[in-house]
A = this chain, B = another copy of it.
Amino acid sequence: MATVSRVFGGGGVSAGARERVLEASRRLGYRPNAVARALRMEATRTLGLVIPNVMNPFFTAVARAVEDAARERGYSLVLGNTDEDPEKEARYLEVLLEKRVDGIVISPARAASPHLEEVGRAGVPVVFLDRYVEGVEAPVVRADGRRAVDELVGYLVGLGHRRLAIISGPPETVTGGERLESFLAGARRRGVEVSAELVVYGDFRRESGARAMRRLLGLEERPTAVFAANNLMALGALEELDRAGVRVPEEVSFASFDDVSWFRLLRPPVTAVAQPIRELGEAAARMLPEMVEGRGRPESVVLEAELVVRGSCAPPGGGG
Protein backbone atom coordinates (compact mmCIF):
# COMPACT_ATOMS: atom_id res chain seq x y z
CA MET A 1 0.00 0.00 0.00
CA ALA A 2 2.78 2.39 0.91
CA THR A 3 4.41 1.88 -2.46
CA VAL A 4 1.17 2.35 -4.34
CA SER A 5 0.59 5.54 -2.44
CA ARG A 6 4.04 6.78 -3.35
CA VAL A 7 3.57 5.96 -7.00
CA PHE A 8 0.42 8.07 -7.20
CA GLY A 9 1.23 10.64 -4.57
CA GLY A 10 4.73 11.30 -5.81
CA GLY A 11 7.48 9.82 -3.71
CA GLY A 12 10.67 7.92 -4.33
CA VAL A 13 9.89 4.57 -5.89
CA SER A 14 12.17 2.40 -7.97
CA ALA A 15 11.36 2.13 -11.64
CA GLY A 16 10.59 -1.56 -11.35
CA ALA A 17 8.17 -1.16 -8.49
CA ARG A 18 6.46 1.78 -10.18
CA GLU A 19 5.96 -0.22 -13.35
CA ARG A 20 4.45 -3.14 -11.48
CA VAL A 21 2.10 -0.87 -9.57
CA LEU A 22 1.00 0.90 -12.74
CA GLU A 23 0.50 -2.39 -14.53
CA ALA A 24 -1.59 -3.80 -11.70
CA SER A 25 -3.75 -0.69 -11.40
CA ARG A 26 -4.34 -0.71 -15.13
CA ARG A 27 -5.42 -4.31 -14.91
CA LEU A 28 -7.68 -3.69 -11.93
CA GLY A 29 -9.03 -0.35 -13.12
CA TYR A 30 -7.69 1.35 -10.02
CA ARG A 31 -8.09 5.09 -9.70
CA PRO A 32 -6.90 7.00 -6.61
CA ASN A 33 -9.74 8.29 -4.46
CA ALA A 34 -9.28 12.02 -4.01
CA VAL A 35 -11.95 12.12 -1.33
CA ALA A 36 -9.99 9.81 0.95
CA ARG A 37 -6.84 11.67 0.09
CA ALA A 38 -8.49 14.98 0.97
CA LEU A 39 -9.71 13.61 4.28
CA ARG A 40 -6.30 12.35 5.19
CA MET A 41 -4.39 15.38 3.93
CA GLU A 42 -6.88 17.94 5.15
CA ALA A 43 -6.71 19.61 1.75
CA THR A 44 -9.17 19.20 -1.09
CA ARG A 45 -7.34 20.94 -3.93
CA THR A 46 -10.61 22.67 -4.61
CA LEU A 47 -11.37 26.37 -4.67
CA GLY A 48 -14.75 28.07 -4.45
CA LEU A 49 -15.80 30.97 -6.64
CA VAL A 50 -18.80 32.92 -5.41
CA ILE A 51 -20.09 35.59 -7.78
CA PRO A 52 -23.38 37.36 -8.41
CA ASN A 53 -23.99 35.78 -11.79
CA VAL A 54 -21.89 34.09 -14.49
CA MET A 55 -24.24 35.52 -17.07
CA ASN A 56 -22.77 38.95 -16.41
CA PRO A 57 -19.94 39.13 -18.99
CA PHE A 58 -17.63 40.66 -16.40
CA PHE A 59 -18.02 37.66 -14.14
CA THR A 60 -17.96 35.24 -17.05
CA ALA A 61 -14.48 36.48 -17.82
CA VAL A 62 -13.57 36.38 -14.15
CA ALA A 63 -14.77 32.78 -13.87
CA ARG A 64 -12.73 31.80 -16.88
CA ALA A 65 -9.59 33.51 -15.62
CA VAL A 66 -9.91 32.06 -12.14
CA GLU A 67 -10.60 28.60 -13.48
CA ASP A 68 -7.56 28.74 -15.74
CA ALA A 69 -5.25 29.88 -12.98
CA ALA A 70 -6.69 27.32 -10.57
CA ARG A 71 -6.30 24.42 -12.96
CA GLU A 72 -2.73 25.38 -13.79
CA ARG A 73 -1.97 25.00 -10.12
CA GLY A 74 -3.78 21.72 -9.72
CA TYR A 75 -7.01 23.03 -8.21
CA SER A 76 -10.60 22.46 -9.25
CA LEU A 77 -13.19 25.23 -9.15
CA VAL A 78 -16.66 25.07 -7.61
CA LEU A 79 -18.95 27.76 -8.94
CA GLY A 80 -21.79 29.57 -7.16
CA ASN A 81 -24.16 32.31 -8.36
CA THR A 82 -25.67 34.45 -5.61
CA ASP A 83 -27.90 36.75 -7.68
CA GLU A 84 -26.86 39.52 -5.28
CA ASP A 85 -28.84 37.73 -2.57
CA PRO A 86 -27.03 37.66 0.81
CA GLU A 87 -29.05 34.64 1.91
CA LYS A 88 -28.03 32.64 -1.12
CA GLU A 89 -24.47 33.81 -0.68
CA ALA A 90 -24.49 32.63 2.92
CA ARG A 91 -25.77 29.21 1.91
CA TYR A 92 -23.04 28.83 -0.70
CA LEU A 93 -20.38 29.84 1.77
CA GLU A 94 -21.68 27.31 4.26
CA VAL A 95 -21.60 24.54 1.65
CA LEU A 96 -18.07 25.47 0.61
CA LEU A 97 -16.94 25.45 4.21
CA GLU A 98 -18.50 22.04 4.81
CA LYS A 99 -16.86 20.77 1.66
CA ARG A 100 -13.58 22.04 3.06
CA VAL A 101 -12.50 23.97 -0.01
CA ASP A 102 -8.93 25.21 0.30
CA GLY A 103 -9.87 28.79 -0.49
CA ILE A 104 -12.61 31.08 -1.69
CA VAL A 105 -12.69 33.84 -4.28
CA ILE A 106 -15.74 35.97 -3.69
CA SER A 107 -17.43 39.04 -5.02
CA PRO A 108 -19.75 39.69 -2.09
CA ALA A 109 -23.29 40.95 -2.57
CA ARG A 110 -23.10 43.48 0.25
CA ALA A 111 -20.50 45.60 1.95
CA ALA A 112 -21.34 43.95 5.27
CA SER A 113 -21.50 40.23 5.76
CA PRO A 114 -21.49 38.25 9.00
CA HIS A 115 -21.00 35.07 6.98
CA LEU A 116 -17.69 36.20 5.65
CA GLU A 117 -16.43 36.79 9.14
CA GLU A 118 -17.48 33.21 9.78
CA VAL A 119 -15.32 32.09 6.87
CA GLY A 120 -12.38 33.99 8.27
CA ARG A 121 -12.96 32.31 11.62
CA ALA A 122 -12.97 28.91 9.91
CA GLY A 123 -9.44 29.69 8.75
CA VAL A 124 -10.22 29.39 5.05
CA PRO A 125 -8.22 31.79 2.86
CA VAL A 126 -10.37 34.35 1.10
CA VAL A 127 -9.66 36.73 -1.76
CA PHE A 128 -12.12 39.47 -2.58
CA LEU A 129 -12.67 40.13 -6.22
CA ASP A 130 -14.14 43.38 -7.52
CA ARG A 131 -16.05 43.98 -4.29
CA TYR A 132 -15.13 43.51 -0.67
CA VAL A 133 -16.37 43.53 2.88
CA GLU A 134 -14.91 45.99 5.34
CA GLY A 135 -13.45 44.44 8.45
CA VAL A 136 -12.68 41.06 6.93
CA GLU A 137 -8.98 40.46 6.82
CA ALA A 138 -8.36 39.34 3.25
CA PRO A 139 -6.64 40.73 0.18
CA VAL A 140 -8.74 42.54 -2.38
CA VAL A 141 -8.32 42.37 -6.13
CA ARG A 142 -10.14 45.08 -7.95
CA ALA A 143 -10.09 47.84 -10.50
CA ASP A 144 -10.41 51.38 -9.27
CA GLY A 145 -12.92 53.06 -11.52
CA ARG A 146 -12.85 56.50 -9.94
CA ARG A 147 -10.24 58.07 -12.17
CA ALA A 148 -11.84 56.72 -15.32
CA VAL A 149 -15.34 57.80 -14.27
CA ASP A 150 -14.04 61.23 -13.44
CA GLU A 151 -12.42 61.37 -16.82
CA LEU A 152 -15.70 60.36 -18.46
CA VAL A 153 -17.54 63.14 -16.63
CA GLY A 154 -14.91 65.62 -17.76
CA TYR A 155 -15.34 64.41 -21.32
CA LEU A 156 -19.14 64.80 -21.17
CA VAL A 157 -19.00 68.22 -19.56
CA GLY A 158 -16.39 69.21 -22.11
CA LEU A 159 -18.84 68.25 -24.87
CA GLY A 160 -21.26 70.71 -23.30
CA HIS A 161 -23.52 68.44 -21.24
CA ARG A 162 -25.15 69.93 -18.15
CA ARG A 163 -27.97 67.46 -17.56
CA LEU A 164 -26.03 64.35 -16.67
CA ALA A 165 -27.90 61.26 -15.50
CA ILE A 166 -26.62 58.07 -13.91
CA ILE A 167 -28.18 54.64 -13.77
CA SER A 168 -26.49 53.64 -10.56
CA GLY A 169 -25.95 50.28 -8.95
CA PRO A 170 -26.94 49.78 -5.32
CA PRO A 171 -25.07 52.54 -3.46
CA GLU A 172 -24.41 50.18 -0.54
CA THR A 173 -22.15 48.02 -2.71
CA VAL A 174 -18.53 49.07 -2.98
CA THR A 175 -18.58 49.38 -6.74
CA GLY A 176 -22.04 50.91 -6.85
CA GLY A 177 -21.10 53.52 -4.30
CA GLU A 178 -17.73 54.28 -5.83
CA ARG A 179 -19.08 54.81 -9.33
CA LEU A 180 -21.94 56.97 -8.12
CA GLU A 181 -19.75 59.10 -5.90
CA SER A 182 -17.04 59.69 -8.44
CA PHE A 183 -19.70 60.57 -11.00
CA LEU A 184 -21.39 63.10 -8.71
CA ALA A 185 -18.13 64.49 -7.38
CA GLY A 186 -16.68 64.82 -10.86
CA ALA A 187 -19.74 66.75 -12.02
CA ARG A 188 -19.81 68.99 -8.96
CA ARG A 189 -16.13 69.76 -9.27
CA ARG A 190 -16.86 71.01 -12.77
CA GLY A 191 -19.76 73.15 -11.66
CA VAL A 192 -22.52 70.77 -12.71
CA GLU A 193 -25.05 69.72 -10.10
CA VAL A 194 -26.78 66.40 -10.75
CA SER A 195 -30.36 66.77 -9.56
CA ALA A 196 -32.01 63.92 -7.65
CA GLU A 197 -34.34 62.95 -10.47
CA LEU A 198 -31.32 62.23 -12.65
CA VAL A 199 -29.96 59.62 -10.27
CA VAL A 200 -31.88 56.39 -10.80
CA TYR A 201 -30.98 53.27 -8.87
CA GLY A 202 -30.89 49.82 -10.37
CA ASP A 203 -29.65 46.50 -9.05
CA PHE A 204 -26.92 45.88 -11.64
CA ARG A 205 -29.29 43.69 -13.61
CA ARG A 206 -30.62 44.17 -17.09
CA GLU A 207 -34.27 44.80 -16.34
CA SER A 208 -33.40 47.52 -13.87
CA GLY A 209 -31.36 49.26 -16.56
CA ALA A 210 -34.33 49.25 -18.92
CA ARG A 211 -36.64 50.48 -16.19
CA ALA A 212 -34.25 53.27 -15.23
CA MET A 213 -33.87 54.42 -18.82
CA ARG A 214 -37.64 54.40 -19.24
CA ARG A 215 -37.90 56.61 -16.20
CA LEU A 216 -35.26 59.02 -17.49
CA LEU A 217 -36.88 59.25 -20.92
CA GLY A 218 -40.22 59.99 -19.30
CA LEU A 219 -38.88 63.00 -17.45
CA GLU A 220 -40.30 66.47 -18.15
CA GLU A 221 -36.78 67.57 -18.90
CA ARG A 222 -34.72 64.69 -20.24
CA PRO A 223 -31.03 64.25 -19.49
CA THR A 224 -28.68 64.90 -22.40
CA ALA A 225 -26.23 62.20 -21.34
CA VAL A 226 -26.74 58.94 -19.45
CA PHE A 227 -24.12 56.81 -17.75
CA ALA A 228 -24.98 53.20 -16.84
CA ALA A 229 -22.93 51.86 -13.94
CA ASN A 230 -22.44 48.36 -15.31
CA ASN A 231 -22.74 46.29 -18.47
CA LEU A 232 -26.04 44.52 -17.74
CA MET A 233 -27.88 47.73 -16.91
CA ALA A 234 -26.28 49.25 -20.01
CA LEU A 235 -27.73 46.43 -22.11
CA GLY A 236 -31.19 47.04 -20.68
CA ALA A 237 -30.83 50.79 -21.16
CA LEU A 238 -29.72 50.38 -24.77
CA GLU A 239 -32.65 48.11 -25.47
CA GLU A 240 -34.99 50.70 -24.04
CA LEU A 241 -33.38 53.46 -26.08
CA ASP A 242 -33.86 51.27 -29.12
CA ARG A 243 -37.47 50.50 -28.29
CA ALA A 244 -38.23 54.18 -27.73
CA GLY A 245 -36.54 55.08 -31.00
CA VAL A 246 -34.26 57.58 -29.31
CA ARG A 247 -31.19 58.28 -31.42
CA VAL A 248 -27.74 58.00 -29.84
CA PRO A 249 -25.81 60.24 -29.62
CA GLU A 250 -27.98 62.83 -31.43
CA GLU A 251 -30.74 62.92 -28.83
CA VAL A 252 -28.92 61.48 -25.88
CA SER A 253 -25.31 60.57 -25.26
CA PHE A 254 -24.66 57.24 -23.62
CA ALA A 255 -21.75 55.58 -21.83
CA SER A 256 -21.30 52.47 -19.75
CA PHE A 257 -19.14 51.15 -16.97
CA ASP A 258 -17.64 47.81 -18.07
CA ASP A 259 -16.67 47.17 -21.61
CA VAL A 260 -18.17 44.29 -23.57
CA SER A 261 -16.92 42.65 -26.75
CA TRP A 262 -19.94 43.69 -28.78
CA PHE A 263 -20.05 47.35 -27.73
CA ARG A 264 -17.89 48.20 -30.67
CA LEU A 265 -20.28 46.49 -33.07
CA LEU A 266 -23.16 48.78 -32.15
CA ARG A 267 -24.08 51.84 -34.18
CA PRO A 268 -22.72 54.00 -32.67
CA PRO A 269 -20.10 51.96 -30.83
CA VAL A 270 -20.50 52.49 -27.10
CA THR A 271 -18.06 54.56 -25.06
CA ALA A 272 -17.19 52.63 -21.92
CA VAL A 273 -14.95 52.29 -18.89
CA ALA A 274 -13.00 49.05 -19.30
CA GLN A 275 -11.70 46.93 -16.44
CA PRO A 276 -8.62 44.71 -16.86
CA ILE A 277 -10.63 41.57 -16.20
CA ARG A 278 -8.12 38.88 -17.10
CA GLU A 279 -5.47 40.47 -14.93
CA LEU A 280 -7.98 40.67 -12.10
CA GLY A 281 -8.99 37.03 -12.34
CA GLU A 282 -5.41 35.89 -12.67
CA ALA A 283 -4.28 37.89 -9.67
CA ALA A 284 -7.07 36.43 -7.54
CA ALA A 285 -6.41 32.86 -8.55
CA ARG A 286 -2.68 33.28 -8.08
CA MET A 287 -3.10 34.58 -4.55
CA LEU A 288 -5.23 31.77 -3.24
CA PRO A 289 -2.76 28.93 -3.72
CA GLU A 290 -0.11 31.16 -2.18
CA MET A 291 -2.25 31.57 0.90
CA VAL A 292 -3.32 27.93 0.92
CA GLU A 293 0.23 26.72 0.74
CA GLY A 294 1.15 29.04 3.54
CA ARG A 295 3.35 31.43 1.67
CA GLY A 296 2.04 34.41 3.58
CA ARG A 297 -0.68 36.94 2.99
CA PRO A 298 -0.45 38.54 -0.44
CA GLU A 299 -0.91 42.26 -0.88
CA SER A 300 -4.14 43.62 -2.27
CA VAL A 301 -4.07 44.46 -5.96
CA VAL A 302 -5.78 47.55 -7.29
CA LEU A 303 -5.58 48.11 -11.03
CA GLU A 304 -6.86 51.08 -12.97
CA ALA A 305 -9.93 51.04 -15.16
CA GLU A 306 -9.61 52.87 -18.47
CA LEU A 307 -11.97 55.11 -20.38
CA VAL A 308 -12.47 53.89 -23.95
CA VAL A 309 -13.96 56.67 -26.03
CA ARG A 310 -16.01 55.48 -28.98
CA GLY A 311 -18.94 57.04 -30.76
CA SER A 312 -21.89 57.13 -28.36
CA CYS A 313 -21.31 60.60 -26.94
CA ALA A 314 -21.63 63.92 -28.77
CA PRO A 315 -22.46 67.53 -27.92
CA PRO A 316 -26.03 67.90 -26.61
CA GLY A 317 -28.77 68.96 -28.99
CA GLY A 318 -26.71 67.77 -31.92
CA GLY A 319 -29.72 65.98 -33.31
CA GLY A 320 -32.18 68.81 -33.13
A239 to B263, CA, bound (A): 11
Residue ID in chain B nearest A263 by CB atoms: B262
> Which residues of A in the span 52-81 have a Cβ within 8 Å of any Cβ on B?
53-55, 60-61, 63-64, 67-68, 71, 76-81
Q: Which residue of B lies closest to A122 (CB)?
A: B31
Q: Give the contacting residue for A35; candidates B55, B79, B100, B264; CB below 8 A.
A: B100
Q: Which residues of A in the span 291-320 have a Cβ within 8 Å of any Cβ on B? A: none
> What chain B residues lie within 8 Å of A266 (beta carbons)?
262, 265-267
Please choose the segment from A12-20, A36-44, A103-111 that sits at the chain B interface, where 4 or more of its residues have CB less than 8 A away: A36-44
Q: Which residue of chain B has the shortest Cβ distance to A65 in the bound complex? A: B55
* Interface flag for A114 (CB, 8 Å): no
Q: In the complex, what distance in Å separates the CA atom of A81 from the CA atom of B66?
A: 11
Interfacial residues of chain A within 163-196, with CB under 8 A of chain B in the complex = none
Q: Are B121 and A29 in contact (CB under 8 A)?
A: yes
A235 close to B (CB within 8 Å): yes
Rounded to whole Å, the gap between the CB of A75 and the closest CB of chain B is 10
At the interface, is chain A mostly helix, strand, loop or mixed?
helix
How far apart sit A80 and B63, CA to CA, in the bound complex (Å)?
10
B81 near A35: Cβ-Cβ < 8 Å: no
Q: Answer yes or no: A98 CB below 8 A from chain B CBs.
A: yes
Query: Do A35 and B267 form a contact, CB below 8 Å, given A67-B80, A78-B78?
Result: no
- Bound complex: CA of A60 vs CA of B54, how far in Å? 7
Q: Answer whether residue A244 sits at the interface, using C-beta atoms and an 8 A cutoff.
A: no
Taking CB atoms, residues of chain B closer than 8 Å to A157 are none
Decide if A67 touches B81 in the complex (CB within 8 Å).
yes
Contacts A33-B39, A55-B60, A242-B264 known; 8 new A-B pairs at CB < 8 A: A33-B100, A34-B99, A35-B99, A54-B60, A55-B61, A68-B81, A77-B78, A79-B79
Ranked 9 nearest A-B pairs via Cβ: A267-B267, A34-B98, A34-B99, A262-B262, A35-B39, A79-B79, A35-B38, A76-B78, A35-B100
